[in-house]
Structure 1
Amino acid sequence: MLSNIIEWLNGSVSLARILTTPLEILGFITGAICVYLNTRQNVFGWFFGIVNAVLYFAVFWQARLYADMGLQGYYFFTSMYGWWMWLYGGKSHDGVQLSEMPVRFYAIFGLIFVLTTLFWGFLLGRFTDASFSYMDSALTIASLIAQWMMARKYLENWLIWIVADALYVGMYFYKDLHLTAILYAVFLVLAVMGYMQWRKDLQKRRV
Structure 2
Amino acid sequence: MSAVFDFFFGQYADYETSSIILEIIAVIFGLLSVWYSKQNNILVYPTGMISTSIFVYLLLKWGLLGDMMINVYYFSMSVYGWYVWTRKVDEEHVTPIARATAKEHLWSVIIFVATVLFVFGVYTYFEKWTSWTAYVDTFTTAVFFVGMWLMAKRKIENWIYWIVGDIISVPLYFYKGFTFTSFQYLIFTGLAIYGFVAWKKYLNNSPVPA
Shift of 1:124: 0.3
Match of residue 31 from structure 1: 30
CA distance, structure 1, for counterparts of residue 92 and residue 174 of structure 2? 43
RMSD: 2.3
Structure 2 CA distance for partners of 1:71 and 1:80, relative to 1, 3 Å:
same
Per mean C-alpha deviation after superposition, the further-off stretch among 71-80 and 16-25 is 16-25
Query: Which one-letter code corresponds to 2:112 in the other structure?
Result: F
Structure 2 CA distance for partners of 1:46 and 1:108, relative to 1, 3 Å:
closer
Q: Is the 8 A contact 1:27 1:52 kept in 2?
A: yes
Name stretches of at least 5 consecutive residues in structure 2 with no aligned partner: 13-19
Q: Does 1:18 align with 2:9?
A: yes
Q: Is the 8 A contact 2:115 2:145 kept in 1?
A: no
Match of residue 81 from structure 1: 80
CA distance, structure 2, for counterparts of residue 160 and residue 46 of structure 1? 18
Runs of 4 or more above 4 Å deviation: 14-17
CA distance, structure 2, for counterparts of residue 114 and residue 193 of structure 1? 28
- Provide the secondary structure at the position in 2 that maps to 1:41: coil
CA distance, structure 1, for counterparts of residue 7 and residue 205 of structure 2? 42
Q: Does 1:167 align with 2:158?
A: no
Percent identical pairs in the alignment equals 28
CA distance, structure 2, for counterparts of residue 165 and residue 139 of structure 1? 9
- Provide the secondary structure at the position in 2 that maps to 1:206: coil
1:145-200 C-alpha deviation (Å, 9 max, x unpaired) = 11111111100000000000001111101100011000000100000000000000
Per mean C-alpha deviation after superposition, the further-off stretch among 38-47 and 57-66 is 57-66
Match of residue 140 from structure 2: 139
Per mean C-alpha deviation after superposition, the further-off stretch among 190-199 and 88-97 is 88-97
CA distance, structure 1, for counterparts of residue 61 and residue 92 of structure 2? 41
Shift of 1:206: 3.0
Match of residue 120 from structure 2: 121
Query: Which one-letter code corresponds to 1:101 in the other structure?
Result: A
CA distance, structure 1, for counterparts of residue 153 and residue 42 of structure 2? 12
Name stretches of at least 5 consecutive residues in structure 1 with no aligned partner: 1-13
Shift of 1:137: 1.9
Q: Is the 8 A contact 1:98 1:154 kept in 2?
A: yes
TM-score computed with the length of structure 2 as normaliser? 0.83
Q: Is the 8 A contact 1:25 1:179 kept in 2?
A: yes
Shift of 1:65: 1.9
Query: Which one-letter code corresponds to 1:55 in the other structure?
Result: I
- Provide the secondary structure at the position in 1 that maps to 2:96: coil
Match of residue 199 from structure 1: 200
Q: Does 1:63 align with 2:62?
A: yes
CA distance, structure 2, for counterparts of residue 92 and residue 136 of structure 1? 43
Q: Is the 8 A contact 1:99 1:154 kept in 2?
A: yes
